Amino acid sequence: MANKLRSPALDPQTVPPRPGSSYPAPFRAAVASREKRPLGDATGLTQFGVNLVELPPGCWSAQRHWHTHEDEFVYVLDGELALVTDAGEQVLGAGMAAGFPAGKPDGHHLINRSDRPAVYLEVGTRREDVDEVDYPDIDMVIRQGPDGQRFQRKTGEPY
């Protein structure tokens, strides 16, 4: 008989997944089948976020982007992912990791080019109060405004 976990422990599979993305159309299609389980939220973390992410074949982690004030770190648990950065593309397998320092303009994302699901941990700073996000390949940015963060065109026009 399995032990029942008590807080602060948890079984990640009991955390409901958040599918897809809040990107405006047409940018959400590439990430529509992505599932994130917000483990940091489920355990009450406030200083940084932790997500268990599953990408089915063909799915992207995000549009290629970089943050002004948030560090990001990924650790591949299962499968194979293409890491795409300004320097090009390389393959990450289980046990491999990558980090993206805040303020370094190096657009990045992961793509599952394999024929099976890939799973990774995503860890990042929580700085929504000041963080802005640039998407170098598309006409989109996230900028801070009086109502919080909003998707905008690079001209400042809202989506």
- Which of 86, 66, 13, 74 is CA-nearest to residue 49? 74
Please indicate, yes or no, if residue 156 is contained in any of the structural domains. no
Over the Cα atoms of the chain, what is R_g?
A: 16
Residue 146 has pLDDT above 80, yes or no: no
pLDDT at res. 2 = 54
DSSP 60: B
Please indicate, yes or no, if residue 9 is contained in any of the structural domains. no
Taking phi first (over 0 means left), then psi (-120 to 50 degrees means alpha), and beta for anything else, what does residue 19 get? Answer: beta
Please indicate, yes or no, if residue 120 is contained in any of the structural domains. yes
Q: What is the mean pLDDT of residues 119-132?
A: 91
Its domain, for residue 82, covers: 30-132
Please indicate, yes or no, if residue 10 is contained in any of the structural domains. no
Answer for the pair 77, 12: CB distance below 8 angstroms, yes or no. no
Length of the chain: 159
10 Å Cβ neighbour count for 29? 12
Q: What is the mean pLDDT of residues 92-98?
A: 98
Please indicate, yes or no, if residue 49 is contained in any of the structural domains. yes
Q: What is the mean pLDDT of residues 15-24?
A: 96
Answer for the pair 31, 21: CB distance below 8 angstroms, yes or no. yes
Number of domains into which the chain is organized: 1
Beta bridge partners of 54: 35, 119
How would you classify the pairing of strands 133-135 and 66-67?
antiparallel
pLDDT at res. 3 = 67
Any idea what the CATH number is for the domain that residue 35 is in? 2.60.120.10
Please indicate, yes or no, if residue 87 is contained in any of the structural domains. yes
To the nearest whole number, what is the mean pLDDT of the chain? 95
**What pTM, to 2 d.p., does this model score?**
0.93
Please indicate, yes or no, if residue 116 is contained in any of the structural domains. yes
Please indicate, yes or no, if residue 42 is contained in any of the structural domains. yes
Per residue in 46-91, pLDDT (tens digit) is: 999 999 999 999 999 999 999 999 999 999 999 999 999 999 999 9
